[in-house]
Amino acid sequence: MNPDDAACHPHEGWLLSPEGAAIRPEAATAVVADVHLGYEWARGAAGDCIPAHSLAETRARLERLLARGGIRRLIVAGDLVESPRPCARTAADVARLGDWLAARGVDLVVTLGNHDRSLAASPRPPAIRPSECVAGWTVQHGDRPRVGERAVIGHHHPIFRASGLASPCYLVGPSLIVLPAFSANAAGLDVVGGATPAAWADAGLRCVVAAGEGLLDFGPIATLAERLRPAAARVD
């Protein structure tokens, strides 16, 4: 029960970890989103010949997360898999992931995302819920209208881009947490230059960027572009 708090960023009772998970210590729960397992098989179905990697990368990253200790449940806030169509290899990878987590005493729960259409029908599916409540926050994918007063969502893959650097980031406000994509394959919603959904304008969101072993709070996204300008190392 000793999460390594030093590297995590606290927010409204959550601990945001550099791996991309929001941890709720008292519930021994970690929430991630957009794992996109089986990405390579989807690309293979489209015709690409690339190395299988998503299961290995996901496990390596989860390993680092679980090493913080005190996690007994992992909730995936949608898009556990990449392929909405049934894919035997992806299903096998999902089953392997479930076994791996179970061997470490971690229960796997998935709130369905837009890519997860075939998940329930796979041979050994994980526990599936439309949404899950953790300490008053509703964990959901984020592709549908929001449920509940306070929400933890994924789906948008927020990314911080400036001065030729790019890194996944959290967007956090008093009643909304947008998780970065857990998968390295997701191209991102550019929070500095891009248009964020209108619904977020009043959410008071701040941008917290993963940087190696720690996190950096870059402040409110509404003023982010302006504040970066004098600090930018090159005129982009």
Partner 1 sequence: MTDGKDDAEAALDVLGDVARGWFAQAFPAGPTPAQRLAWPAIASGENVLLISPTGTGKTLAGFLAIVDRLLREHEAGELKPGLRCVYVSPLRSLGYDVEKNLSVPLRGVQRLMGLAKCPVRVGVRTGDTSAYERRKHREGPPHILITTPESLSLLLSQAGWADHWAGVSHLVVDEVHALAATKRGADLAISLERLADASGAEPTRVGLSATCRPPDPVARFLVGPSRSCRIVEAPRPSGSQPLEIAVESLLRPGEGPHRGLTYRRLLRRIRQVVGENRTTVVFANSRPMTEKVAHDLRNEPPRRGEAGRAFDGETEVAVHHSALDATRRRLVEEDLKAGKLRAVVTSTSLELGVDVGTADLTVQIGLPGGVARCVQRIGRSGHHVGGRARGLILAATAAEVAAAAVTARAARAGAIEPLRPVASPLDVVCQQLIGMACTGETSVDAAYALLRKAGPTADLGREDFLACLDFLAGDLSGPSGAFEPEPGATPRWTAPRIWKRNGWFGVRNRRVQRWFWSNVGTINAEESAAVVADGASIGTVEGAYAERLSPGDRFVLDGRTLEFRRLEGLVLHAKLVGGEAGALPVWHSDRQSLSTELAAELAALRCEASRRSTCDGPDAFRAWLAATLDLDARAAEVVAELIEAQDRWSETPGVDSLLIEEFPTPLEPGWTYAFHAPLNRSASEALGRAVSARLGRRFGRDATFQAADLGWTIRLPDDVRIDEADLAEIASLDRLADDVLEGVDRGELAARRFRHVASTAMMVLRNPEPGKRVRVGGMNWVSTRLYPLVKAACPDHPLLRETRREILHDVLDVPAALRWLETRPTIRLRRLTAPSPFATAWIAPGGDEPMQYDSPADALRRLHARMTAAAGGSS
Least CB distance from residue 28 to partner 1, whole Å? 26
CA angle 132, 134, 137 (to 5 degrees): 90
In whole angstroms, give the CA distance from residue 196 to residue 35: 21
> Containing H/E element for 33?
none
Cβ contacts of 109 within 8 Å, gap of 6 or more: 73, 74, 75, 76, 126, 127, 128, 129, 132
CA angle 206-12-143, nearest 5°? 60
Using CB under 8 A, list all residues that contact partner 1. 36, 39-53, 56, 59, 82, 162-165, 167, 184-187, 195, 209, 211-214, 216-219, 227-228, 230-235
Q: Reduced to 3 states, what is the DSSP secondary structure of residue 134?
A: strand
Report the residue number, 2 or 223, with the smaller CB distance to partner 1: 223
Residue 25 CB, nearest approach to partner 1 (Å):
25
Nearer Cβ to partner 1 (58/138): 58
Give the shortest CB-4-to-partner 1 separation in angstroms. Answer: 17
CA–CA distance, 33 with 57 (Å, rounded to integer): 15
Residue with smaller CB distance to partner 1, 202 or 213: 213
To partner 1, the closest distance from the beta carbon of 80 in angstroms equals 13
134/181 with CB nearer partner 1: 181
